């Protein structure tokens, strides 16, 4: 059998499986991309063992916890690993590369598999994500898509990806549309750590010699914050600005956000989040339109009174190269129009 020396974060490639031995709630908060969760203690068991450690003794915690760990590992051997060949090579981690992953590695190696333990565990992985993110972002050839609300920037990104372009879809990673109306029904945003892991994985996948298209974003997408190094890179990168007339943008918004009309109360709650930014009279009128499902009037006035002025203030202040932006006319934001717009934008990278 090969060595059993802990594997560093930089040597994680080449294993047949990546196993996260932490509890389900720890795994849900964030985990190494591609890992499967095989907890040696579930959340309740972890609470029990922790309480015994504090209230009684380390010995009592290990005695009770050891039985739980043994039972869980036995279950994983029966259910998760029963069909693995002798040549199977898993890499196992827990919070700090301690007893939880060590216990699982010991049993897997006793069976005959070449199991290895990640040195420093998830904590080492998290440190790697933080330490290497700025360098990854600095190496990217970012080009930023700008344009006022309703310019179909996200849809253009998706079309660019379909055309084979490299795309950093920040709103997709954050699972949020990025505005006061941006929460997606039934979709929970990841944790901040989980978002940063997804971002790290996306940036790691790009060819730094080729353009990476990204949408202009503020510092926050929903409740998640963009890392400061990425905000800085976005604001210093060359810009392509979609120039679409208000009517085309309104028609696009009415198609793209039609579902908001199905939940007037939820829409009113979102509008209430603008309190202090607009007069109470304006917000009352918008909420009345929301209750009446009068989306054309509501969306048009939201563009005129809120989104367009906000765009004019924030983009000019934050994007240093907006004055040298390549203007991309877009009279038509139908599906065919967006496909044509994406082809014209992709041609800029090839030119």
Supply the pLDDT for residue 1: 43
Positions in the chain short of pLDDT 50:
1
113-127 per-residue burial string, b: 16 or more CB within 10 A, e: under 16: bbbbbbbbbbebbbe
Percent of the chain with pLDDT over 90: 82
pLDDT in tens, 6-37: 899 999 999 999 999 999 999 999 999 999 99
Q: Return the ∠ at Cα 183 (arms to 192 and 167), rounded to 5°.
A: 65
Token look-up 């590992």 returns: 73
**Gyration radius from the chain CA atoms:** 25
Q: How far apart are CA 212 and CA 32, in angstroms?
A: 24
For residue 94, indicate whether it is catalytic.
yes
Return the H-helix or E-strand segment holding 236.
Answer: helix 228-236
Tokens of 277: 């930014």
pLDDT in tens, 37-89: 999 999 999 999 999 999 999 999 999 999 999 999 999 999 999 999 999 99
Q: How far apart are CA 99 and CA 69, in angstroms?
A: 10
Q: How far apart are CA 97 and CA 123, in angstroms?
A: 8
Supply the pLDDT for residue 316: 63
Average pLDDT, the chain: 93
Cβ-contact 157, 177 below 8 angstroms = no
Supply the pLDDT for residue 351: 62
Distances (CA, A) of 261 to 78, 218, 251, 272: 50, 26, 15, 16
Check 38, 94, 146, 268 and give the catalytic one.
Answer: 94
Predicted TM-score of the model (pTM): 0.90
């Amino acid at each position: 059998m090969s060595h059993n020396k802990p594997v560093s974060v930089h040597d994680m490639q080449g294993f047949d499986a990546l196993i996260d031995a932490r509890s389900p709630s720890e795994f849900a908060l964030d985990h190494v991309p591609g890992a499967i969760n095989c907890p040696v203690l579930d959340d309740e068991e972890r609470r029990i063992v922790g309480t015994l450690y504090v209230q009684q003794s380390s010995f009592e915690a290990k005695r009770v916890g050891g039985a739980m760990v043994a039972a869980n590992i036995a279950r994983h051997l029966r259910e998760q690993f029963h069909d693995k060949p002798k040549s199977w090579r898993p890499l196992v981690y827990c919070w700090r590369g301690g007893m939880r992953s060590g216990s699982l590695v010991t049993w897997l190696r006793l069976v005959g598999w070449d199991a290895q333990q990640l040195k420093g565990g998830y904590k080492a992985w998290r440190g790697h994500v933080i330490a290497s993110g700025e360098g990854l972002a600095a190496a990217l050839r970012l080009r930023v898509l700008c344009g006022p609300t309703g310019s179909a920037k996200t849809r253009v990104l998706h079309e660019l990806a379909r055309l084979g372009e490299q795309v950093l879809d920040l709103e997709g990673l954050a699972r949020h549309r990025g505005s006061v109306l941006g929460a997606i029904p039934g979709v929970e945003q990841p944790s901040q750590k989980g978002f940063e892991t997804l971002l790290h994985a996306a940036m790691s996948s790009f060819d730094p010699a080729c353009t990476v298209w990204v949408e202009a974003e503020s510092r926050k997408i929903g409740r998640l914050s963009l890392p400061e190094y990425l905000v800085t890179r976005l604001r210093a990168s060359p810009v392509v600005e979609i120039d679409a007339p208000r009517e085309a943008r309104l028609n696009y918004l009415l198609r793209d956000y039609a579902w908001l009309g199905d939940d007037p109360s939820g829409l009113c709650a979102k509008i209430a989040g603008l309190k202090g930014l607009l007069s109470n009279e304006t917000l009352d009128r918008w909420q009345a339109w929301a209750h009446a499902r009068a989306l054309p009037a509501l969306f048009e006035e939201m563009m005129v009174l809120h989104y367009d002025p906000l765009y004019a203030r924030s983009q000019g202040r934050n994007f240093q190269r907006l004055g040298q932006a390549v203007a991309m006319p877009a009279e038509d934001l139908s599906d065919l129009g967006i496909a044509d717009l994406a082809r014209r934008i992709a041609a800029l990278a090839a030119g």
